[in-house]
Amino acid sequence: MLIFKKLSKAQVDIIIPDLDVGSGGGIFTPSPRGRVNIDIDLPKIKVPNFIRASVFYLPFRASEFHWVSAFTMLEHVSNPYAAIFEMLRVGNQLVIRQDAIYSIRNYAMFKHLQFQLGHRFLQYPRTWLGIRFSRLLFLLCSKPQLQRLINLTFRWNYYEVISSNNQ
């Protein structure tokens, strides 16, 4: 069983993760946070201590790291719970960041597969209309004139995830 403990941004800001999962690729500029950084996508810029790997098969021994972080990554994977269990296998503590329910980013990213509500993940119903709407929002989000307004809605929720087996 997994326990999701809500954290504040201030609590998360003092954590320096040993392993950062999902830190290097995609359409955004990489923002590596860990001493070791992993992503399935190759980064556009040089990322220190980067390893290309899948979150489902992390190339490390059990409990090799103390802190593992995954910031806005779980919504991109087909099975967030399997990803969480794999990260908890290699790390003693896991901190995640997910888009808040009212964040435009939640709806503007047509590559999102999952929607997080607290400790539950719901699969996005991807329809032709929904994908078109997401792409339109994404284009609006990229307009410099709208950045100030849109940045007000970029909010995240932070959680420490604990396996009840590790307590």
Could you list the residue range(s) of the whole structural domain that residue 127 is in? 2-166
* Structure confidence at residue 109 (pLDDT): 65
- Among residues 82, 110, 108, the alpha carbon closest in space to that of 2 is found at 82
147 vs 71: CA distance, rounded Å? 21
Nearest to 157 by CA among 112, 108, 119, 109: 119
Each residue's pLDDT tens digit, 111-129: 777 777 777 787 876 666 6
Q: How confident is the model at residue 21 (pLDDT cuts 50, 70, 90)?
A: very high
Q: What is the pLDDT of residue 146?
A: 65
The CATH number that applies at residue 77 is 3.40.50
Burial class for 102, CB neighbours closer than 10 Å (0-12, 13-18, 19+): exposed
- What lies within 8 Å, CB to CB, of 149 at 6+ separation is none
Element (H, E) at 92: strand 91-99
Indicate the pLDDT class of residue 105, thresholds 50, 70 and 90.
low
Q: Which of 71-85, 98-112, 128-142 has the lowest mean pLDDT?
A: 98-112
Q: What is the pTM of this model?
A: 0.81
Structural domain count of the chain: 1
**CA distance linking residue 18 with residue 129, whole number of Å:** 41
What's the chain's average pLDDT?
A: 82
Instruction: Report which listed range, 2-6, 81-85, 104-108, 139-143, is most confident.
Output: 81-85
Which of these, 89, 81, 75, 65, lies nearest to 16 by C-alpha position?
Answer: 65
